[in-house]
Amino acid sequence: MTRREWIATITAAPLLKAAPAPDAPAAPVSIAKCASYDEDITAKLAAMFDQLGGLERLVRNKTVTVKLNLTGAPSQRVRGIAPALTHYTHPKLVGAAAYLMGRAGAKRVNFVESAWATAGPLEDVMLDAGWNVRSLQSAFSGVEFENTNALGKGKRYARLKVPENPYMYPAYDLNHAYEDTDVFVSMAKLKNHATCGVTLSLKNCFGTIPASIYGDSAGVNEPNESPTDGRSAVGHEGKRQPSKSAPQELHFGVNHDPGYRVPHIVADVVAARPIHLAIIDGVESIAGGEGPWIRGVRIVKPGLLIAGLNPVCTDAVSAAAMGYNPRATRGTAPFQTCDNTLLLAEGHGVGTTDLKRIEVRGVSIEQALYRYDS
Amino acid sequence: MWMRTVRWAAILGFLPLMHASVAEPSDWVPVRWPWQDAKSLELLADSPVNCLLLKSYPAELVSAAADKGLVTLAVLSPGGDLAAAARKALAAKVTGIVLEGDFPEGAAAGVRDAAPGATVIELTSRSRMPLGSKAAVLGTYQGVWPGISLLDDGVKKAGPTGSTWIDTNTGFIRAVRAWGETTLWIANEPTPKTVVTGARYQQVIADAAMSGARWVIALDTDFAARLHGREADALSDWRRMAAMVRYFEQHPEWRHMQESGQLAVVQDPGKGGLLSGGILDMIAVKHTPVRPVPRQQLSPAALSGATMAVNVDGESLTPEQREILRNFTRGGGTLLTGPPGWKDQSHGDTITLDKAELERLNDIWRDVNSMVGRRNLGVRLFNVASMLSNFIASGDGKTAIVHLVNYADYPVEDIAVHFLGDYKHATLITPEGTEKKLEIYQAEDGGGVDIDKVGVCATIRLER
């Protein structure tokens, strides 16, 4: 099958059991080729933002929170390679975004992540990943960092409600940074995910939920402000409820399948905490899983940057660029053992997965195609 | 018997004269020499290695070694007529004797009494090392093979610290040297029928050297054969090994510096202190500078400068020692004592902990980890998961050294080092010959420097 034929196939979506939601919003997505991090990432990103209508109108005089994708402990490496070249968003992309947002008039840019198994400063995690934090800080005077795995710099947790028909929880208690912001950006890696099929801007937001409340070591009644592990028991497996201080799971005990639970939680979270800008780092990445702890992950170099103003649209285009049908259902790659997060988010009205409705600017999907399942 | 002793003494008495030009035992840089031909000594041209441990000692080899100013030591093992073996070795004009293994009580003393002029070095099990003795060289044949620990399926093993686990002899070396400055040899050999890469040899050399000991270089069979055959790759690895040895030998001042940092671990070397994989190594994997304090040497001076102390086995202390720790806490220090009933146990001739013991040690490790947290207790290192470090300082406190050893098969890039104290100058030194001034920037607790790349080993020298 040629690239053009493949695109025609996934656009027609013959595998779908359900038709695309006709009223789910659509927004343009920009794709740029970027063969390495040594290229002028700032210039490429600036051009992409221009293709999306300009960054200034989105961030001028605004507080911007950027959720990074720093999956797992920074000490865990694929063949010893720096995490930014495999499964973390790259600091050069982070620095470029900070610079451009500062130049576009943003008041503050707060880079956040719920770092693996710690409530310590996010800067420590970045340093442990080999990032030059001072260089990032110098990109723009309003740059800040916060580890959202616990209360962090806030005085209370923000309760963000799922607007309509929540799948898993009626609302989520998150670090204040996700509420105290005008603009929310998800900056993710273009990679697979063992539980969810793909890690893109939507799945990246599973990392907004703090381990202090949703972690294995979360307090029963109150948050544990010193979390020491991940979120398997609450999020993936449903073996326990989050701390009672937070809204509880709606149908606790009914489903323990991570392939069901995690995509549904993610869809809830992105409905509760809307994403205004999705940026996908596909310059260098991994295929076959989200991190070095997944057996058989492979290093890939798609050479792509993807950005969009709607996370579902951006992820749909990204999934297509990875060689997947963004509307594939459970049982079809990359969703062999899980539900499709993109469709679930579409069901919440976050955005459309229908490629026919998404305008792609810059490089076309055919030109960008890099099959992850080679 | 008397005549035999006289003959023996006469032979040994000549030794210091015969080899007056060779260095003192504290300067001997040892290798287990696997070959018997004099031509093999060409491999030591321009090498800092100057001491050959020989299981057999043909006259031609010993003579050629002497001509090159090399020390030769005959290695004797338990069993047979020790005196006869020693006489035979000394008759071959070797410089001294190495007794390797665990000999019956008094065997070593017998050799020394009979040969007062010869150097006799004992390589014993760890538990039989005469800590605090005046031995010219303290040594052991027991050691772990340093490196990142792998599970059977090749996946990196996470230790109790949650970090990548690195097998190391550094905790043991620190514990021994805490008894007082000594020349320490660690003489473990590669596992039989294994092939060791050149990088791994460098790591093993550096693992011992960064804590002030010397690894007795021992070559695996494959490498020895290739090196003897002058294969280009083997020669290249050999030169790199020599460069690593030379790097540390060119800085004898490092060996005289003291373990620094604000965390002291009070532990009995006769119990868990000489184990590998114990509490000292757990702390090392976390890159927290730590000073071992032998329980027997616990004093206010030993805790000087410490802000935290771990008393591993609280029940083993004398009332006076308990009072010292009480005063430490009265002075503002934080003290962590092992859980009630927790006993630091003697381990006989084993040098590592089994799984059950590791889990037991986790009781205290969790508390230590929590107490230390992300505090800077002298130096904090970032992006060093495949590395171990050692933080030492000169007696006057004007110079501090941070050694970094990388146990991965690839270089590590973009390392950050944050240190306490008002250091004015920072210099990066490497075995490859780098000596580069580093820019010091202000960090959270003091100063910081960044290092672009470390191959196997690098050192940061901090000066006030």
The 10s digit of each residue's pLDDT in A328-343 is: 999 999 999 999 999 9
- The answer to whether A80 contacts B382, with C-beta atoms less than 8 Å apart, is no
- Is residue B45 over pLDDT 90? yes
Minimal-distance CA residue of chain B relative to A77: B385
Question: Is B275 within 8 Å of B172 (Cβ atoms)?
Answer: yes
Looking at chain A, the whole-number percentage of residues with pLDDT higher than 90 is 90
pLDDT the model gives residue A19? 67
CB proximity B409 to A under 8 Å? yes
pLDDT the model gives residue A343? 98
What CATH fold (topology level) applies to the domain B258-372? Rossmann fold (3.40.50)
Secondary structure (3-state) at B48: coil
Q: Read off the pLDDT of residues A77-116 as tens digits, 9 standing for 90 and up.
A: 898 899 999 999 999 999 999 999 999 999 999 999 999 9
CB proximity B450 to A under 8 Å? yes
Those residues with Cβ within 8 angstroms of residue B113's Cβ, 6 or more apart along the chain or in another chain: none
Q: List chain B residues with CB under 8 Å of A77.
A: 385
- Is residue B449 over pLDDT 70? yes
Q: How confident is the model at residue B134 (pLDDT cuts 50, 70, 90)?
A: confident
Helix (H) or strand (E) holding B326, with range, is helix B319-330
- The answer to whether B408 contacts A80, with C-beta atoms less than 8 Å apart, is yes
pLDDT the model gives residue B156? 46
User: Average model confidence (pLDDT) for chain B?
Assistant: 87
pLDDT the model gives residue A109? 98
Q: List chain B residues with CB under 8 Å of A80.
A: 386, 408-410
Q: List chain B residues with CB under 8 Å of A81.
A: 410
In the structure encoding, which two tokens stand for residue A47, read together?
A: 């051009």
Minimal-distance CA residue of chain A relative to B366: A228
DSSP for residue B157:
P
Say yes or no: domain B2-255 is CATH 3.90.245.
no
Q: List chain A residues with CB under 8 Å of B408.
A: 80
Q: List chain B residues with CB under 8 Å of A131.
A: 414
- The answer to whether B383 contacts A129, with C-beta atoms less than 8 Å apart, is yes
Site of tokens 């002030």: B212
What are the structural domain ranges in chain A?
Answer: 3-368
Secondary structure (3-state) at B51: strand
- The answer to whether A127 contacts B416, with C-beta atoms less than 8 Å apart, is yes
Looking at chain B, the whole-number percentage of residues with pLDDT higher than 70 is 89
In terms of Cα–Cα distance, which of B234, B214, B291 is closest to B257? Answer: B291
What is the mean predicted confidence (pLDDT) over B329-352? Answer: 78
Choosing among 3.40.50.2020, 1.10.10.60, 3.40.50.2000, 2.60.40.1180, the CATH entry for B379-463 is 2.60.40.1180
Amino acid at the residue B414: D
- Is residue A347 over pLDDT 80? yes
Q: How confident is the model at residue A3 (pLDDT cuts 50, 70, 90)?
A: low
Those residues with Cβ within 8 angstroms of residue B104's Cβ, 6 or more apart along the chain or in another chain: B78
Q: How confident is the model at residue B22 (pLDDT cuts 50, 70, 90)?
A: low
Q: Read off the pLDDT of residues A45-72 as tens digits, 9 standing for 90 and up.
A: 999 999 999 999 999 999 999 999 999 9
Return residues 367-386 of B near A (CB < 8 Å).
373-374, 382-386
What are the structural domain ranges in chain B?
Answer: 2-255, 258-372, 379-463
pLDDT the model gives residue B109? 82
Q: Poorest-confidence range of A146-155, A161-170, B192-201?
A: B192-201
pLDDT the model gives residue B111? 84
Q: How confident is the model at residue A13 (pLDDT cuts 50, 70, 90)?
A: very low
Q: Which of B163, B164, B414 sits opposite A130 (nearest CB)?
A: B414
Q: List chain B residues with CB under 8 Å of A73.
A: 162
Q: How confident is the model at residue B162 (pLDDT cuts 50, 70, 90)?
A: very low
What is the mean predicted confidence (pLDDT) over B245-264? Answer: 94
What is the mean predicted confidence (pLDDT) over A364-374? Answer: 95
pLDDT the model gives residue B378? 93
- For chain A, which residues lie within 8 Å of any Cβ of chain B, measuring from their own Cβ? 73-77, 79-82, 117, 120-121, 124, 127-132, 134
- Is residue A12 over pLDDT 70? no
pLDDT the model gives residue B163? 58
Sign of CA dihedral A192, A193, A196, A200: negative
- Is residue A22 over pLDDT 80? no
d(CA A123, CA B383): 12
pLDDT the model gives residue A5? 66
Angle at A68 between CA A67 and CA A74, to 5 degrees: 140
The answer to whether ipTM exceeds 0.90 is no
Distance from CA of A115 to the nearest CA of B (A): 14
pLDDT the model gives residue A16? 44
- Is residue B16 over pLDDT 70? no
- The answer to whether B163 contacts A75, with C-beta atoms less than 8 Å apart, is yes
Q: Poorest-confidence range of A4-18, B104-118, B282-296, B322-336?
A: A4-18
Q: B414, B439, B440, B445: which to substitute to probe chain A, counting the most A Cβ within 10 Å? A: B414
What is the mean predicted confidence (pLDDT) over A305-312? Answer: 98
Minimal-distance CA residue of chain B relative to A117: B162
Distance from CA of B240 to the nearest CA of A (A): 22
